[in-house]
Amino acid sequence: MFQIVTFYRFIVLSELPAKRERLKAAMRELDIKGTIILANEGFNSTISGKPEKLNAFLSSAEEILGCRIETKSSSHEKMPFRKVDVKIKPEIVTLKQTVDIAKGSGTHVAPEDWNEIISDPETVVLDARNHYEFMNGNFVGAIDPGTSKFSELPDFVENNLDPAKHKRVAMYCTGGIRCEKFAPYLRSKGFENVYQLRGGILKYLETVNANKSLWRGECFVFDDRRTVDSELKKGVEPDHSVAISKTNNPK
């Protein structure tokens, strides 16, 4: 059985090429596969390996990156990744907007408290993911922004939400990283009561009992499993991103 972990953190990083080479070497040594993205603003990753080797790698990664790593975990009988990939990019999640991450302080909602927040009729529940992800599953009452990439979400907000009218906005994404950028972005645009699901859908499914869950469907993940179900096991839903791509680019 292979363990799959996702993790990210917004933290100032320097000497990125050296960190990239050390991480790649540790991944190869411990037979870890997946992707790690490095930027001056932090790191973002989904990787997989045998549990004991994965734990050893995470200890090494904490030393290389100079901070504690918090993970979200699931498992699968097959390795869901095909290669070792450590990339250096301008952003660890691409919004193409200048954001002060500190403005997101106080916006995090624990999975155990999420149902209460989104059940309030005054709360706008915003899915911060893309349309093809929304099609696989979503929270009850959530708005599909209809985006094909994260950097389109500011335009959706500009055209559809008004801080004078929409007083409470709660958002969620797969693992939490998109919301880490978008919650402070919304605050910078005048939205006062902003909430983000801590740890994203994956942590919610890991934490909240199925009979109390307000999640419907499966969760799209960016590996060979395509989706996971409410028990974080490989799902059966199709990859809607492929169908949408074929529709937009017919032969």
Catalytic residue from among 67, 173, 179, 219? 173
Question: What's the CA gap between 71 and 69, in Å, rounded?
Answer: 6
**Strands 42-49 and 33-39, sheet pairing:** antiparallel
| Secondary structure letter of residue 164 according to DSSP | T
**Strands 168-172 and 193-197, sheet pairing:** parallel
Token reading at 91: 């952003």
| Known catalytic membership, residue 173 | yes
What end-to-end distance do the CA atoms of the chain give, in Å? 40
Q: With residue 153 as reference, give the H or E element that holds it.
A: helix 153-160
Question: What's the CA gap between 180 and 185, in Å, rounded?
Answer: 9
**Strands 123-127 and 168-172, sheet pairing:** parallel
Question: What's the CA gap between 166 and 174, in Å, rounded?
Answer: 23
Question: What's the CA gap between 116 and 4, in Å, rounded?
Answer: 29
CA torsion sign for 132, 186, 11, 70 is negative
Of the CA atoms within 13 Å of residue 227, those in its CB half-sphere come to 21
Active site residues: 173
